[in-house]
A and B are shown apart, each in its own frame.
Chain A
């Protein structure tokens, strides 16, 4: 069986945040929630200033602390490498949020329909859209996935549960790349079977020095970075995306 992972080429990333946008559309995540986040970093002082970028999805760790602390087995590690959240089973205790050193978990504070970007049923909107499916309402997210047939796709499905990047399980199980990978205009994100040395991410990983985030934490992330360095204490975040909840 393939064991999936992602390799992110920091040399190629231009920080456009297109991956953040396609993730939101594909996974119906509510306002203010980013499963994929592109950091914009600044280092040095003018005129020796450097701006660089780093995409950060869930790291889908092989030794995932979030899985260990989940008291109900809602967060689990799949055989294919994905770390999934069964939002039908999640009780919203948020232990996973505390345990994760990467800050990739999001808690759904409100009902789904109250936290999307337009009210599709609003009086002035409804006549225009005439019953069409809202662009953020991806029907494939309602399906169960994996041999376990659990509800693990999509974000903001229920109030009071936690969710995070799924590597777009609804796309991967249909032979497609995750939305962020598919939409990256400069092909900075590469997804595939990391156990296969001939796969695109494996070949990229072999071509340059690489690192993983918080390697010392022992979480064994399945997201690798090439073409850059991890952020340091000298790194300043600029232009944080503004949550509008």
Chain B
């Protein structure tokens, strides 16, 4: 929809800003370059354009005779299928553009030996292996009472936590909740809407962390999983307060969970009980 009343689209605002600071001509050249506008479809730095006109030029340049009106009429423009080589490294010639990945890392072995010899705990050096080496997941070393996999996820109403200050969106999405499968909840005596504690466990340090939020029972969650959306609890904006805690605080960084050898393993085990 068009911007309402006295509000304007961001491109229109940028255009006016560039005029005011005296870089309009350069900005138009920049648009021509990045939208690949040439010949009769190139934008003229001596003229002013609306956002719609700019994208109309782009659509015409793409060969759409109706210009931007094509998208208003049809929504999307379906182009020809892309060859596999555009999307997949193995389909290029040579595969992956000829990039060769190191298989054996002698330096990693030296790091491991160095840290071990200096008395560092095993959690710090065990992932420095010269060859790709499988080991069990850190979280699986947590005690059995931490029987749920904790995941965080995105709600369709929000973008990260930066939109949680908007009361209109919060009204649509509700605040923080703890998603549990009904069978999982029943086994713990937890009912829909009941305040619960999610407690995560660090299998390396033994540290535990807690967050409280109302239970939300849904069959869309696996019985061995507890899930929380990640939009709430981190922002400092006034309108975003009182929407519940962030699950980010329940995850651990550090040895065993995030290492310097790209062995990131953010998953943690957690338990849930009535608050």
- Residues in chain A within 8 A of chain B (CB atoms): 14-17, 20-22, 24-25, 31-32, 42, 44-47, 49, 51, 117-118, 132-133, 135, 137-139, 179, 182-183, 187, 238-244
Q: Which residue of the partner chain A has the closest CB to B243?
A: A242
Residues of B within 8 A of A16 (CB): 156-157
Contact of B168 among A21, A49, A179 (CB under 8 A): A21
> In the complex, A44 Cα to B181 Cα: how many Å?
12
Instruction: Give the interface SS of chain B, mostly helix, strand, loop or mixed.
Output: loop
| CB-based contact B171/A42 at 8 Å | no
1/0 contact string of B149-173 vs chain A (CB within 8 Å)? 0000000110000000001111111
Residues of A within 8 A of B168 (CB): 21, 24-25, 117
> In the complex, A45 Cα to B222 Cα: how many Å?
10
- Known A21-B168, A138-B5, A241-B171; contact A46-B157, beta-carbon cutoff 8 A: no
- Known A15-B156, A117-B168, A239-B174; contact A133-B223, beta-carbon cutoff 8 A: no
B7 contacts partner chain A, Cβ-Cβ < 8 Å: yes
A-B contact pairs, 20 of them (CB 8 A): A14-B156, A16-B156, A16-B157, A17-B172, A21-B168, A21-B169, A44-B219, A45-B219, A46-B183, A47-B222, A49-B220, A51-B220, A132-B5, A133-B5, A133-B6, A135-B5, A138-B4, A242-B171, A243-B171, A244-B171
Q: Which residue of the partner chain B has the closest CB to A236?
A: B219
| CB-based contact B156/A17 at 8 Å | yes
1/0 contact string of B4-38 vs chain A (CB within 8 Å)? 11110000000000000000000000000000000
> In the complex, A167 Cα to B157 Cα: how many Å?
23
B141 contacts partner chain A, Cβ-Cβ < 8 Å: no
| CB-based contact A244/B170 at 8 Å | yes
| CB-based contact B1/A21 at 8 Å | no
Q: Which residue of the partner chain A has the closest CB to B5?
A: A133
Residues of A within 8 A of B183 (CB): 46
B245 contacts partner chain A, Cβ-Cβ < 8 Å: no
- Residues in chain B within 8 A of chain A (CB atoms): 1, 4-7, 75, 156-157, 167-175, 181, 183, 216, 218-223
Residues of A within 8 A of B175 (CB): 242
> In the complex, A141 Cα to B181 Cα: how many Å?
45
> In the complex, A25 Cα to B2 Cα: how many Å?
12
| CB-based contact B220/A46 at 8 Å | yes
- Least CB distance, B224 to chain A, in whole angstroms: 10
Contact of B157 among A17, A31, A179 (CB under 8 A): A17
| CB-based contact B219/A135 at 8 Å | no
> In the complex, A138 Cα to B1 Cα: how many Å?
14
Task: Give the most central of A117, A138, A179: most B CB within 10 Å.
Answer: A117
| CB-based contact B5/A139 at 8 Å | yes
Task: Give the most central of A49, A239, A244: most B CB within 10 Å.
Answer: A239
> In the complex, A47 Cα to B168 Cα: how many Å?
33
Residues of B within 8 A of A17 (CB): 156-157, 172
| CB-based contact A46/B5 at 8 Å | no
| CB-based contact B75/A187 at 8 Å | yes
Residues of B within 8 A of A118 (CB): 167
> In the complex, A118 Cα to B4 Cα: how many Å?
17
- Least CB distance, B229 to chain A, in whole angstroms: 10
Residues of A within 8 A of B156 (CB): 14-17
Q: Which residue of the partner chain A has the closest CB to B184?
A: A46
| CB-based contact A46/B174 at 8 Å | no
> In the complex, A187 Cα to B7 Cα: how many Å?
25
Q: Which residue of the partner chain B has the closest CB to A20?
A: B172
| CB-based contact B218/A42 at 8 Å | yes
| CB-based contact A46/B219 at 8 Å | yes
- Least CB distance, B70 to chain A, in whole angstroms: 15
Residues of B within 8 A of A240 (CB): 174
| CB-based contact B167/A31 at 8 Å | yes
Q: Which residue of the partner chain A has the closest CB to B157?
A: A17
- Least CB distance, A205 to chain B, in whole angstroms: 20
Instruction: Across the A-B interface, give the 6 residue pairs with the lowest CB-CB distance, nearest first.
Output: A242-B174, A49-B219, A117-B167, A133-B5, A46-B219, A132-B6
Task: Give the most central of B157, B169, B170, B223: most A CB within 10 Å.
Answer: B157
| CB-based contact A183/B1 at 8 Å | yes
